[in-house]
Amino acid sequence: MERKNAWLSYTEADEEKLESLAKEYRIFLDEAKTERECVEELVKEIGKKTGFRVEFCAADEEETQDCMNVYTNENGKLRLLTEKTYCKMKTEGKTLTEIVQAVKQSTDNFLKMGIPGKLKQLQCYEQVKGELFIRPLNMEKKKEELENSLYKQNGEIALTLYMKISDEDGKLTSCKVPLSYVEKWPVKKETVFEEAMKNTMSMMPPRVCEVLKLVQNPAYEGEDIYASDYIPEKDAVGNCMSTRSKTNGAVAIFYPGVARTFCHKLGAEGLYLAFTSVHEVMLHDEESVEPENLKTILEETIEEAIPEEDVLTRHIYHYDLKSDQIEMLAA
């Protein structure tokens, strides 16, 4: 009995329809994978590619979320949140090979920068106290990560303890300090926080930028508020405060004495603060603007120009010179 080759009878249109069906089926099979199945496959492949021991860790008292731990040869550990990894495969279209390669690159960088050795130093406060600093985070977005961190809350902002890993070519690498280490240090948490804030001010001095100069010259570092000849702008546009590096610069307004010094320079009794991102905060004389109008402008700025990961808070804050306190205003 003669068996005819069906492929020879297919038109170009038929082949396109068949290819489309096959593509849909491949997508179906891919999307049918559960998060756990993806993670199990990743654990296996990452171990093969890196040569390191890789373990899946379910959420428990120590781990607030399911994660994968990649153990390096120097007793260091990379922690990868499985939900984020799964989302990269599902929503960003990342393949298993691409994610494994990205993890391999991360582990190579991890070892190159000497991170495992730095992390081991966390056991001794005296060894790391000069590397501690503070970063501002959004409380709600980082809620789970903050469960094992030292931070001070001010409204929606969490001033969080970090440790500097390296600072090469102006690129700062850092990590949050686990609360479990802090609790073993022979000093009070308040002391740790105060020293870290002093370090931050030294590492990233406060600067106030004149908006026009900043637009005209991206390399412009801003004005030193402690300079004897510095006089802030008094118009309704406000003054943009950041740090010399302009990275995570919104923390500058929380440095001891900074808000008070700026108020005196401006000749104001109080300030309204609009955190346009984690990198800066706009300062306004409380007599020059209405907080409701400022909030509207802030919301429009965030929607039009600020990436979601850089949003610190959508609330307006107020600094009172008399009490020397910064507080979030009610919505």
Residue at 9: amino acid letter: S
Distance between CA atoms of residues 15 and 77, nearest Å: 49
Q: Where are the domains of the chain?
A: 6-112, 120-203, 206-328
DSSP string, 58-124: ---SS-SS-EEEEE-TTS-EEEEEHHHHHHHHHTS---HHHHHHHHHHHHHHHHHTTHHHHHHHTT-
User: Residues of the chain with pLDDT > 70: what percent?
Assistant: 76
Per-residue tokens: 48: 């093969």
The predicted model gives 59-83 an average pLDDT of 61
Q: Can you give the pLDDT at residue 108? A: 72
Q: Per-residue pLDDT for 137 more than 90?
A: yes
Contacts of 283 (CB under 8 A, 6+ apart): 208, 232, 238, 239, 240, 241, 253, 262, 266, 271, 272, 273
The predicted model gives 162-175 an average pLDDT of 79
Per-chain mean pLDDT for the chain: 82
pLDDT band with cut points at 50, 70 and 90 for residue 328: very high
pTM, rounded to two decimals: 0.71
Q: Can you give the pLDDT at residue 28? A: 47
Residue at 136: amino acid letter: P
pLDDT band with cut points at 50, 70 and 90 for residue 241: very high
The predicted model gives 84-92 an average pLDDT of 61
Q: Which residue has the tokens 């731990």?
A: 69
